[in-house]
A and B are shown apart, each in its own frame.
Chain A
Amino acid sequence: MPACDGPTIVVKDHYQLVIIGAGPTGLSAARVAADHGVDVALLDEQPAPGGQIYRAMESIPPARAGLLGDEYQHGRKIVSSFRQCNVDYLSDTQVWSLNSKREIGLLQGDEPLMITADQVLLASGAMERPVPFPGWTLPGVMNAGAGQILFKSHGIVPNDGVVLAGSGPLLLLLAWQYMHAGVKIQALLDLTPMRNHLRALPRLPRALMARHYLAKGLVYKKDLKRAGISTLHNVSDLHATGNDHISSVSFRHRGRQRSIETELLLVHFGLIPNAHLSRAAGCEYQWDRSQQCWRPELDDWGSSSIDGILIAGDGAGIGGARTAEHAGRLSALQATYALGIIDKYERDQLSRDDRKWMHDDLHIRPFLESFFHIPRKLLSVPDDDTIVCRCEEVTAGEIRMAVADGHSDSNQVKFLTRCGMGPCQGRQCAEAVAHIVAAAGGEKVAQGGHYRGRPPVAPLTLGQLASLYPEETE
């Protein structure tokens, strides 16, 4: 039984615009397109709209929402504005394939479906950058974002004594949110290297033009300090130890080796675009040195290298939730123009404010990106025994051996070592493999390449695949 939102929607075979992802990007885009009379379907695998940042917005108890801060509350406007527009919103719907002909494979419950669209907007957001370190596969080590999901969606928080480690705004935000919920954080280990301060300094004056971001970060820091939460800066050599579960985390701080006992370590190393669908469709990507990730090649409207496929929001490159809203609207206007519903002049006029925002936002990004730059050494997994591929349990040493044998491309390494061939399809190891291959071969990351994307991007059973093509299998 497809679990759609509200009264069950009969999914049409074809839409003018299909938007994948109901976060700030997709919700804002849906509103703009629907307001112009575009026939829109909005698909998301989550049970309710909001995306990562505004998760559980419609069902969260007010007291819990209050602990999450104003940025979370801002989402209420976006979600309620979306609810007033006329689109086929398909919740609990996972997209498992997309190709250059804009054929889209969906899964509702156990039921697969194929639909088509004239225009597709990928608004599938970001994921946390997986950075393998010794012990990261132990139970009790989780992503900080995972901790935040438990908090936002379910009101579940860590027992006292949790340790947070890594680098990036989300880590600080989570510490601040936990502090409000009364969670006793044992330590916040900041792995941002001191040299990043110098690296970011030249970009500070320009960043001051977008100082609301900086002000927020400083408030979080001040509040944490006032609450007496121990923050250790310039930490390195993170290591989780334990037998069947983490029992302690060790690290280097001020030239000394230290260790803290804990049953829960939440880690975060920034965000990277969620690229599985766009890669499967064949969209062109390029390596972005500043964001330390691959980004799709896009024009100012979010049009990708494939006709009729647009990408916007954090899936296009990390710009944050406010930017995602504007980017979603820009891409929706472009799609509406491409459908012949508005002309170029209208598109340009209607997008003035959004384009201005996108332009102004460029001021802050170089500063944030250099401040939170993850050291290359960490990304290329220095310890040979560290597991890189969580699914197939392939270590950094095995990957380096493959490179030493002359395999200087991520895809060759994959076929040789099985790294990236498990159920997560390389989502957790592709970046690390690219870094290891590049570092071992003395090349730039862009040269070592990325795993080729292939549908289905989610494991389907043979029965599910067969049900899509009954005449061929009968």
Chain B
Amino acid sequence: MFKRLDENPAATVTVTIDGVQFNVPAGETVAAAVLASGFGHTRTTVVSGAPRAPFCLMGVCYECLMVIDGKPNQRACRELVNDGMKIECQHATGRL
């Protein structure tokens, strides 16, 4: 869906998204990193299990809830990536 402009970021960090490693620019939000890494959806819904993806990227829709470093219900558009961060698609409530 998305691509990064050719900008040569000053620094990158390594994150894993659903088990796959990616190098992403430091300072990116988790949602931006996930979308630019080619992931189509970031959660499945509680009611019907339908896939959903970030919709507003400004913190008002809560569609971007993901499991970040083991913590469910994090708004991926409000969290910044960190080196070694583990990012997972959230299924339903995100609790096992």
Contact = CB atoms under 8 A, between A and B. Distances in A.
A375 interface: no
A54 to B, nearest CB: 14
Contact of A145 (B4, B47, B57, B78): B57
Contacts of B84: none
A157 interface: yes
Contacts of B65: 423
B73 interface: yes
Contacts of B22: none
Contact of B61 (A59, A140, A158, A427): A427
A143 interface: yes
A60 B53 CA distance: 26
A274 B61 CA distance: 12
Interface string A411-450: 0000000000011100110000000000000000000000
Contact of A139 (B4, B32, B48, B52): B52
B40 A245 contact: yes
A65 B2 CA distance: 19
A58 B58 CA distance: 18
A226 to B, nearest CB: 22
Interface in A308-362: none
Interface in A372-399: 390-393
A50 to B, nearest CB: 13
Contacts of B53: 139-140, 142
A244 B40 contact: yes
A146 B56 CA distance: 5
A140 B42 CA distance: 11
Interface in B6-47: 7, 25, 27-29, 32, 35-36, 40-41, 45, 47
A209 B65 CA distance: 46
Given A137-B52, A146-B55, A390-B63, A64 B5 contact: yes
B43 to A, nearest CB: 10
B3 A159 contact: yes
Contact of A154 (B1, B29, B45, B51): B29
B57 A143 contact: yes
B31 to A, nearest CB: 9
A344 B25 CA distance: 51
Contacts of A143: 55-57
Across the A-B interface, the 3 shortest Cβ-Cβ residue pairs: A139-B53, A146-B57, A423-B62
Given A127-B58, A146-B55, A155-B4, 4 more contacts: A244-B40, A245-B51, A390-B61, A424-B62
